[in-house]
Structure 1
Amino acid sequence: MSQKVKVWDVAVRFFHWSQVLLIAALWYTGEEGLMAQHQLLAYTLAALVIARLIWGVIGSESARFSRFAATPVAAIHYLRHPVAVAGHNPASFYMIVLLLLLVSIQLVSGLATFDNSYLSDGPLVSILPGSWVEIASDIHSININILLAAIGVHIVAALWHSVRLHNVLAVMLTGKDAITTEQKPKLRNSTVFFIVFAAVLAVLLWWQGGALLALL
């Protein structure tokens, strides 16, 4: 017999929705040339991603990458015959990996991106060869479009899945899903996730806080 039980901890839900807001804000500030705000948001997103990667190893069962990692064959089979799954399904594993990879590329390339201003250049611009900076700047400019396209695919897939099969959007909001007791994952307290997030963000702001204040 199924009942509403917690399948997502606070850490996973906080990461998911915060990432949505941060990427939207990063795109806007980048387009508007608000570089101080852009860099502050970027460091916040970097800390969030690092905390999620660590949580993906030590966190709740449903948050661990090892739990929902799937072979390409399993992912293709799921796309052909989708069913409601508690937690991430086999196909979503590859979308998660892709999004984390693209976000990471965007963050790392941003550290070495030239912005036609010594004040708002990435912090690594002054210490890297000019050819590397040009490559990083090109990657940063191109990768954002790839990232936005991947996010678009992810949103459409989530909406279709929620309307036609399983309301994964509601589950990610509430953390609860209708599953059998035997399927219930073991959840961990999310405090460690937030400690890691705060610690990494503090280090990044200690490193670049002075430069950010100069831009504001």
Structure 2
Amino acid sequence: MSQKVKVWDFAVRFFHWSQVLLLAGLWYTGEEGLMAQHQLLAYTLLALVVSRLVWGFVGSQTARFSQFAATPAAAVRYLRKPYAVNGHNPASFYMIVLLIVLVLVQLLTGLATFDNSYMSDGPLVSLLPASWVDMASDIHKININILLAAVAVHVVAALWHSMRVHNVLWVMLSGKDHAASTYTGGVKHSGVYFILFGLLLVVLYFWQGHKLLALL
């Protein structure tokens, strides 16, 4: 049996599980009308996602988008005959791209969403034409349902894959996996990711966060 090696750095694992919690919190606060809390969670998620995008180019091998980018044909072949992969498999590339795009659409439209309250309107509402604000608000309401559906598909696929093919949930928790013969990676220290994440949080706090904390 092959020995276990580190295949996921802490940055990737922190991003993955924090995003789960933040999306759940965003859904709940949105449903309950807790707009100050909702926007604070949204800014935290924005910092998290932007940091992950940067880490996708400068981070560990398994964190880099270039490492798991795949053609549609490769993704289909993998779905027909799945197997254990150290890192993201060819099919997961498309789900990851879809989720990141949907999350960014949700966050960006939220910045321009009108909420019938001056104190909880998105910060771009006063800067954009009313027609743009209406469109952003409509997209924000529709996109959340698409995002939740995509998340549900992702969760079901991850559970099925973990039970039938490869326990990816445990690997994402522990960061360790049995190394395949083709695995040549290693992980980088996650310090750069967290420095960037912290800097973005500071910027967003001074832009909007302190105003929202005052409403709590």
CA apart distance, 1:209: 2.5
1:34-73 paired onto structure 2 within 5 Å: 34-73=34-73
Between the two proteins, the alignment pairs up a number of residues equal to 216
User: Greater shift after overlay, 200-209 or 133-142?
Assistant: 200-209
Cα distance in 2 for residues equivalent to 1:184 and 1:9: 15
Q: Secondary structure, in 3 states, of the residue corresponding to 1:117?
A: coil
2:190 maps to: 190
2:175 maps to: 175
Q: Which runs of 5+ in 1 are unaligned?
A: none
Q: Which runs of 5+ in 2 are unaligned?
A: none
Aligned-residue CA RMSD (Å): 1.0
Cα distance in 2 for residues equivalent to 1:54 and 1:113: 27
Cα distance in 1 for residues equivalent to 2:89 and 2:181: 18
- Write out per-residue CA displacement over residues 120-171 of structure 1, whole angstroms, 9 at most, x where no aligned residue: 0000001110000000000000000000000000000000000001000000
2:204 maps to: 204
Cα distance in 1 for residues equivalent to 2:212 and 2:36: 6
TM-score by length of 2: 0.98
1:73-84 paired onto structure 2 within 5 Å: 73-84=73-84
Asked if residue 139 in structure 1 is aligned to residue 121 in structure 2, the reply is no
Q: Secondary structure, in 3 states, of the residue corresponding to 1:90?
A: coil
Cα distance in 1 for residues equivalent to 2:73 and 2:173: 30
- Structure 1's consecutive aligned runs of 4 or more residues displaced over 6 angstroms after TM superposition are none
Asked if residue 154 in structure 1 is aligned to residue 154 in structure 2, the reply is yes
User: Greater shift after overlay, 84-93 or 1-10?
Assistant: 1-10
2:114 maps to: 114
TM-score by length of 1: 0.98
CA apart distance, 1:201: 1.0
Task: Work out whether residues 13 and 172 of structure 1, in 8 Å CA contact, stay in contact via their aligned partners in 2.
Answer: yes
- Write out per-residue CA displacement over residues 82-138 of structure 1, whole angstroms, 9 at most, x where no aligned residue: 111110000000000000000000000000000010110000001110000000000
CA apart distance, 1:49: 0.2
Give the AA of the match of 1:130: A
Cα distance in 2 for residues equivalent to 1:124 and 1:180: 49
